[in-house]
Amino acid sequence: MFEIYETKERIIEDNDAEAAKTRKYLADRKTVLINLMASPGAGKTTTLIRVINALKKRYRIGVMEADVDSAVDAEIISRQNVKVIQLHTGGSCHMDADMTRRGLKKMGIEDVDVVFLENVGNLVCPAEFDVGAALKIMILSVPEGDDKPLKYPLMFTVSDAVLINKIDTKEIFDFDEKRFEENVRRVNEKAPVFAVSAKNGDGFEEFTAWLEGQIRKELEL
Amino acid sequence: MFEIYETKERIIEDNDAEAAKTRKYLADRKTVLINLMASPGAGKTTTLIRVINALKKRYRIGVMEADVDSAVDAEIISRQNVKVIQLHTGGSCHMDADMTRRGLKKMGIEDVDVVFLENVGNLVCPAEFDVGAALKIMILSVPEGDDKPLKYPLMFTVSDAVLINKIDTKEIFDFDEKRFEENVRRVNEKAPVFAVSAKNGDGFEEFTAWLEGQIRKELEL
């Protein structure tokens, strides 16, 4: 047997007032912000490229790439001919609402309908900070394991949709889709779960159809 | 083209005095603390089981499992017949030196030679907080990609050894070991890199031999 010991109460800074300001900033400009979250290497950038290509005929798209360091992702995204800015969080493991609004201002969103924020690769902190987005989408990649909703419950609770990426490797990693969805349902009753492969494109038709429906709803508000 | 914009200066709390206290607490009891860090699902617990079984004949081992929530890992480790405690970080994405010392006290280390701290699954915050460990070991799993030292440089800078786990899947994920090691070397000149598979045991002989050498050195100090 073993003990469970709560070492520290959660400290959440007052980020909510800033998130309201960021929401107003976006609403005034009729821009929809989508917060994309996942572990390092789960496939955020590759997923984003598929989504951009599905949406860019109908919407003017902007991308904010948030990283502690480097511009690896912004370089890749810039080849998609969409507006892109690299944000450096200076060691912070997540974006907050103030940093997000400053990023939006710096990039300029007057000519942008939909902005994707690719958050820092992390399943903990990004879940705690409302950046002012209309939609939160998280990606769990198959090699991470189907037990992750138990260990990182907040991320799964706050997400509006969950993607299972690298679904083409599920046999190799003994990933049980049914068990995963049950684990998601313990903390989130309604977020749709989409199994996809950003590498080969499987499952993207269904996901991007859902996403477009959500974007349309937001733009009509 | 795109801009790079530094949104926030890094805020590091004064954790160093606490780390010195934790180091003294460990030294007084002749216990070696090893800080194990990785992304969610990189294989920390499976690796730990392999290491425990290689070392437990010679050393009395303790394990501190740090998670935001759940006791999934402590349950698995408790079957290995070693001392184990589950620490809940209360939403924090990392362990700090004070939390670590309180965990050590709660578990009790008078009868323990080597304590493994399985840190919260995260490549950002755990790298920033010295917990007072003698050794920092990080695991990067193949599906995360060989570019991760560029995006999470601090983690690779502070680590004393780097494991590449799930090496049996390197063909599937086009993981280039040589490029990965070059990326590690940009930020860390000397940490050995071990390619392993915690699933099938490949590479563990070499890694645990190195680890035992390090533990022996620490215990002789």
**Would you state the pLDDT for residue A2?**
65
**Would you state the pLDDT for residue B162?**
98
Nearest-by-Cβ selection for B6 from A1, A90, A147: A90
Only one residue has tokens 């159809």, namely: A209
Contact A91 B145 (CB under 8 A): no
Angle (CA) B184-B138-B81 rounded to 5° is 155
Residue A33 host element (H or E):
strand A32-38
**Would you state the pLDDT for residue B15?**
86
Q: Check pLDDT > 50 for residue A9.
A: no
- Fill in the DSSP letter of residue A144: G
- pLDDT band at B145, cuts 50/70/90? very high
The predicted complex's ipTM stands at 0.83
Of B138, B134, B92, residue with least CA distance to B115: B134
> E-strand spans in chain B?
4-6, 32-38, 61-67, 83-88, 114-118, 135-141, 161-165, 193-195
Q: Check pLDDT > 90 for residue B46.
A: yes
CA gap A27, A5 in Å, rounded: 44
Query: Each residue of B106-130: pLDDT tens digit?
Result: 999 999 999 999 999 999 989 989 9
Question: What residue in B sits closest to A125 (Cα-Cα)?
Answer: B93
- Strand order in B193-195's β-sheet? A4-6, B83-88, B61-67, B114-118, B32-38, B135-141, B161-165, B193-195
- pLDDT band at A93, cuts 50/70/90? confident
**Would you state the pLDDT for residue A8?**
38
Query: Each residue of A155-199: pLDDT tens digit?
Result: 999 999 999 999 999 999 999 999 999 999 999 999 999 999 999
| Rounded percentage of chain A residues whose pLDDT exceeds 90 | 84
Contact B106 A3 (CB under 8 A): yes
pLDDT higher at A68 or A41: A41
CB of B186 closer than 8 Å to CB of B220: no
Q: Check pLDDT > 70 for residue B99.
A: yes
The angle, 0 to 180 degrees and rounded to 10, between the axes of the packed helices B204-220 and B44-55 is 70
Q: Is residue A122 classed as helix, strand or coil in its secondary structure?
A: coil
Q: Measured between beta carbons, which residues in chain B are less than 8 angstroms from residue A5?
A: 85-88, 102-103, 106
Q: Check pLDDT > 50 for residue B8.
A: no
What is the pTM (predicted TM-score) of this model?
0.88
Nearest-by-Cβ selection for B93 from A87, A90, A125: A125
Closest approach of B83 to chain A, Cα-based (Å): 8
CB of B188 closer than 8 Å to CB of B157: yes
Closest approach of B131 to chain A, Cα-based (Å): 14
- Fill in the DSSP letter of residue A117: E
Query: Each residue of A54-83: pLDDT tens digit?
Result: 999 999 999 999 998 888 899 999 999 999
Give the dihedral sign, CA A86/A88/A94/A100: negative
CA gap B121, B116 in Å, rounded: 14
Closest approach of A68 to chain B, Cα-based (Å): 7
**DSSP per residue over A36-91, as a string?**
EEE-TTSSHHHHHHHHHHHHTTTS-EEEEEEESS--HHHHHHHTTSSEEEEEE-TT
Q: Burial level of A189, CB count in 10 A (0-12/13-18/19+)?
A: exposed
Of A105, A117, A115, A108, residue with least CA distance to A66: A117
Closest approach of A220 to chain B, Cα-based (Å): 30
Contact A150 B1 (CB under 8 A): no
- pLDDT band at B2, cuts 50/70/90? low
Size of interface A-B (CB pairs under 8 A): 198
Task: Tell me phi and psi for residue B92, to 5 degrees.
Answer: -75, 145
Least confident of A16-30, A128-142, B8-22, B158-172: B8-22
B30-43 burial, b if ≥16 CB within 10 A, otherwise e? ebbbbbbbbbbbbb
User: Looking at residues B80-86, what average pLDDT do you find?
Assistant: 94
Contact B12 A95 (CB under 8 A): no
**Would you state the pLDDT for residue B70?**
85
User: Looking at residues A133-147, what average pLDDT do you find?
Assistant: 97
Of A131, A132, A136, A174, residue with least CA distance to A156: A136
Q: Is residue B9 classed as helix, strand or coil in its secondary structure?
A: coil
CB of B149 closer than 8 Å to CB of A68: no
Nearest-by-Cβ selection for A41 from B95, B124, B145: B145
Q: Burial level of B178, CB count in 10 A (0-12/13-18/19+)?
A: exposed
